[in-house]
Amino acid sequence: MTIASQAYLEVKDQLTTLLQSEDMSNIELALKIGQNYPEFEEQLDKYRLFYRVALNKMLNTLTPENIYELLQLTELDLQSTGLVKLPAEVAVLKHLTSLNLNENFLSDLPLHIGSLPQLNRLFIAKNELAQLRPAIGQLKSLKVLHLYDNKLQDLPPQLQQCEYLEALSINSNQFGVFPKVVCSLLNLEILYIQHNNLQVLPPEIGELSRLDHLNVGHNQLKQLPKTMGNLQRLGLLDLTHNQLKEFPLPILEMKQIVKLVVANNQLSHIPAEVFDLPHLYQLDVSNNFITQVDFSITTKPPCTESTGVLLAD
């Protein structure tokens, strides 16, 4: 280690603190002191390049005003920018609430993804993620998480620390087993997990009492757990393209259901109680093997203005 690099290490933390303080005088002081250290100038150059990507502005030199502007960012859209690695400089964006990383080539997320205390929307769809780091649990403010079209097979247990999560999209991945950590996300309202390889849903799914939208289509489900009848707020349930041979009776307990899609299964019978569901507006049972539909005499007949029943395409 050279004398110069040793000297820089002794002041590195202080310079970083000044630079990220969001105080213009401190930022100016950091730039003034830092010009004596080539290593600091190298770090500034990385910030300059990150500034260019984040704000789409070209800079020859980085001014205190530029740094302050960067630190104040609340939304960052890096969709389709060819990223193979998330820049470490993202960690300085303490006010960031929305981060869009969709349609890149990310195979992993670094530890510093957990350094964004105000982040509530994170979009990482259509990447190459094979795992999600435990650091995701540090995003305590997270409400929306899109992870669809990746290569995920499981989710870390630390995800349960994102207790305010309301919407989770993990469709089009490689889940062979339902990630049970999802059942601990008690504020979840929207769950998309279609286009995977699920054969069963865990009984714990019935604990998601706030769930309003659930799409588990394009899997290999043969039945639903009885506990799904506890999903009393569920308004949309999509079970298309599974292996259901009998109509799932827990559905009859879902009194708020508005749209029910059970198309492309192996059903042969639709019970009359389905038509007694008070809010059911759209029912799709097309492309099954239905030989009997027991229409209820207690409600309006199907295909009226209030209820649409699709029996075939």
At 17 the pLDDT is: 86
Q: Cα–Cα distance between 89 and 99 in angstroms, integer?
A: 13
Q: What is the rounded average pLDDT of the residues 70-91? A: 93
Q: Is 297 helix (H, G, I), strand (E, B) or coil?
A: coil
Q: 145 forms bridges with which residues in the sheet?
A: 122, 168
Whether the pLDDT of residue 139 is over 70: the answer is: yes
* CB-based contact 21:27 (threshold 8 Å): yes
**Over the stretch 13-32, which tens digit does the pLDDT of each residue have?**
887 888 888 889 888 888 88
Q: Cα–Cα distance between 170 and 128 in angstroms, integer?
A: 13
Q: Cα–Cα distance between 19 and 307 in angstroms, integer?
A: 62
At 2, the pLDDT band (50, 70, 90 cuts) reads: low
More confident residue, 239 or 62: 239
Residue partners of 154: CB distance under 8 A and separation at least 6: 131, 175, 177, 179
Cα separations in angstroms, 5 against 12, 34, 36: 10, 12, 11
**Over the stretch 218-272, which tens digit does the pLDDT of each residue have?**
999 999 999 999 999 999 999 999 999 999 999 999 999 999 999 999 999 999 9
Percent of all residues in the chain with a pLDDT value above 70, rounded to a whole number: 93
Tell me which fold the domain 230-313 belongs to.
3.80.10
Q: Establish whether domains 76-197 and 230-313 are of one fold.
A: yes
Tell me which fold the domain 76-197 belongs to.
3.80.10
At 62 the pLDDT is: 86
**How many residues comprise the chain?**
313
Residue ranges per structural domain of the chain? 1-72, 76-197, 230-313
At 313 the pLDDT is: 44
Residue of 199, 234, 200, 198 lying closest to 214 (CA atoms): 234
Q: Which long-range contacts (CB under 8 A, 24 or more apart) does 177-186 make?
A: 178/202, 178/205, 179/154, 179/155, 180/204, 181/155, 181/156, 181/157, 182/155, 182/208, 183/207, 183/208, 184/160, 185/159, 185/160, 186/210
Q: Cα–Cα distance between 256 and 286 in angstroms, integer?
A: 22
Question: pTM for the complete prediction?
Answer: 0.90
Percent of all residues in the chain with a pLDDT value above 90, rounded to a whole number: 69
**Over the stretch 124-134, which tens digit does the pLDDT of each residue have?**
999 999 999 99
Residue 242 exposure: Cα atoms within 13 Å on the Cβ side = 29
Cα separations in angstroms, 309 against 9, 241, 295: 70, 18, 11
At 311, the pLDDT band (50, 70, 90 cuts) reads: low
Strands 121-123 and 98-100: parallel
At 1, the pLDDT band (50, 70, 90 cuts) reads: very low
The dihedral over CA atoms of 95, 126, 175, 226, expressed in degrees to the nearest 10, equals 70
Residue tagged 């970083």 (tokens) = 16
Average pLDDT of the chain to the nearest whole number: 90
**Over the stretch 192-218, which tens digit does the pLDDT of each residue have?**
999 999 999 999 999 999 999 999 999
